[in-house]
């Protein structure tokens, strides 16, 4: 069971609910979001009377939710959640395209990238300062120096930034640089200690699906973040591993409507990592938007053939402009918009 407190509930009212839960022999998990507090009852929920709890001061709703994930479930939050990213809404009617290079390389490359992202009409910029690589001998990213380059280049174009967090020890620096969206990559989806820590912030989190993760495992990973207090979570489908070797990953389009039914949180797609080739990105992007995705995470580079990482899947500035035009047309047909 979860007990949703009203946004005017005070500490005494929250404590009264917790006392009532513990009186019945259950434990309580408190998730303090930016808008409201949610209390999860842990144990045999049959002992709890929802009507009695709803009668307590400050309680908005008491819900029995049979799924193992509670806060991210649509059952207690029927309307789609719209996440405010430094003034840019993600979710709802408006679709957001997040674009930028796989890796932050040089100040010149980042300045050109930010200009291309802005000129294409994208409202958020991505860039990897820390790179998780399969081999320890390949380029691992430019680190904190890259984070500074990303922040400076994006700020000049008025673009909020998205970048991946690999290590809890980097979190303080991410906060210092004012990272607008923290990305949790596919390899970290079930790094539960990392999820708990980003859950203690109020920074929006993009949670990428693990290579072989089921929908339920993905939702439960999001619950770790939500249970720690951060309800600003964005799911990102980036392709799952299969027996097929012709392309990089299998973009699971089915996951989009499934998640839309299961959760109130926004869903975006990374077509670049799904296909692994730039020529596939437009088709996969169109499919994702048509299927109901709230946005895309697209790799773009001023000169893709010179990229230090994932050169094959990056769009050039002209291709990014063309893609945005195609996506605006699809968005209009399904009653949505891309500014």
CATH value at residue 44:
3.30.70.1140
Q: Are 15 and 153 members of one domain?
A: no
Q: Are 295 and 191 members of one domain?
A: yes
Closest residue by Cα to residue 80 from 203, 296, 253, 261: 261
Q: Are 265 and 318 members of one domain?
A: yes
> How would you write the pLDDT of the chain (339 residues) with one tens digit per residue?
889 999 899 999 999 999 999 988 989 989 888 778 999 888 877 788 888 899 999 999 898 887 888 899 998 888 999 999 999 999 999 999 999 999 999 999 999 999 999 999 999 999 999 877 778 878 777 899 999 999 999 999 999 999 999 999 999 999 999 999 999 999 999 999 999 999 999 999 999 999 999 999 999 999 999 999 999 999 999 999 999 999 999 999 999 999 999 999 999 999 999 999 999 999 999 999 999 999 999 999 999 999 998 899 999 999 999 999 999 999 999 999 998
DSSP for residue 158: T
pLDDT of residue 64: 83
Q: Are 30 and 96 members of one domain?
A: no
**Does 151 map to a domain?**
yes
Total count of residues recorded for the chain = 339
Q: Give Cα separations from 246 to 186, 243, 295, 309, 313 (angstroms).
A: 21, 10, 26, 20, 14
Q: Are 99 and 53 members of one domain?
A: no
pTM of the model as a whole: 0.90
8 A C-beta contact, residue 213 and residue 190: yes
CATH value at residue 291:
3.20.20.70
Domain boundary among the residues 64, 96, 114 is at 64
Q: Are 113 and 193 members of one domain?
A: yes
Phi, psi dihedral angles at 331 (to 5 degrees): -60, -40
**Does 42 map to a domain?**
yes
pLDDT of residue 67: 82
Q: Are 59 and 192 members of one domain?
A: no
pLDDT of residue 43: 83
**Does 71 map to a domain?**
no
pLDDT of residue 63: 85
**Does 110 map to a domain?**
yes
**Does 76 map to a domain?**
no
Phi, psi dihedral angles at 29 (to 5 degrees): -110, 125
Non-local (6+) Cβ contacts of 239 within 8 A are 248, 249, 250, 251, 252, 270, 273, 274, 275
**Does 339 map to a domain?**
no
- Structure tokens, 45: 């929920």
At residue 39's C-alpha, the angle toward residues 175 and 15, to 5°, is 100
Non-local (6+) Cβ contacts of 139 within 8 A are 103, 131, 133, 308, 309
Q: Are 278 and 170 members of one domain?
A: yes
Q: Are 88 and 216 members of one domain?
A: yes
**Does 96 map to a domain?**
yes
pLDDT of residue 141: 77
Q: Are 109 and 46 members of one domain?
A: no
**Does 78 map to a domain?**
no
Instruction: Report the number of distinct structural domains present in the chain.
Output: 2
Q: Are 41 and 132 members of one domain?
A: no
8 A C-beta contact, residue 4 and residue 63: yes
Q: Are 281 and 233 members of one domain?
A: yes
Q: Which domain holds residue 326?
A: 83-333
């Amino acid at each position: 069971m979860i007990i949703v407190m009203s946004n005017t509930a005070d500490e005494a009212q929250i404590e009264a609910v917790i006392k009532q839960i513990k009186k019945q022999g259950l434990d309580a998990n408190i998730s303090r979001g930016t808008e409201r507090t949610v209390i999860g009852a842990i144990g045999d929920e049959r002992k709890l009377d929802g009507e009695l709890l709803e009668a307590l001061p400050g309680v908005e709703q008491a819900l029995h939710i049979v799924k193992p994930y509670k806060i991210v479930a649509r059952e207690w939050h029927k309307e789609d959640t719209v996440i405010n990213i430094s003034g840019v809404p993600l979710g709802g009617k408006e679709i957001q395209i997040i674009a930028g290079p796989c890796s932050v390389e040089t100040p010149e490359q980042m300045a050109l990238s930010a200009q291309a992202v802005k000129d294409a009409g994208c409202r958020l910029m991505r860039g990897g300062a820390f790179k998780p690589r399969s081999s320890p001998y390949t380029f691992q990213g430019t680190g904190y120096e890259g984070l500074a380059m990303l922040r400076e280049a994006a700020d000049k174009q008025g673009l909020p930034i998205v970048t991946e967090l690999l290590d809890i020890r980097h979190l303080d620096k991410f906060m210092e640089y004012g990272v607008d969206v923290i990305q949790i990559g596919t390899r970290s989806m079930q790094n539960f200690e990392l999820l708990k820590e980003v859950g203690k912030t109020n920074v929006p989190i993009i949670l990428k699906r693990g290579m072989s993760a089921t929908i339920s495992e993905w939702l439960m990973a999001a619950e770790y973040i939500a249970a720690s207090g951060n309800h600003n979570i964005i799911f990102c489908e980036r392709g799952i591993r299969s027996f097929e070797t012709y392309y990089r990953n299998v973009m699971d389009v089915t996951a989009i409507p499934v998640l839309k039914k299961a959760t109130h949180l926004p869903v975006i797609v990374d077509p670049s990592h799904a296909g692994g080739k730039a020529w596939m990105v437009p088709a996969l992007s169109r499919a994702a938007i048509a299927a109901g995705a709230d946005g895309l995470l697209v790799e773009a580079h001023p000169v893709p053939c010179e990229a230090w990482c994932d050169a094959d899947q990056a769009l050039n500035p002209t291709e990014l402009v063309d893609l945005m035009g195609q996506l605006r047309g699809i968005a209009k047909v399904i009653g949505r918009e891309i500014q």
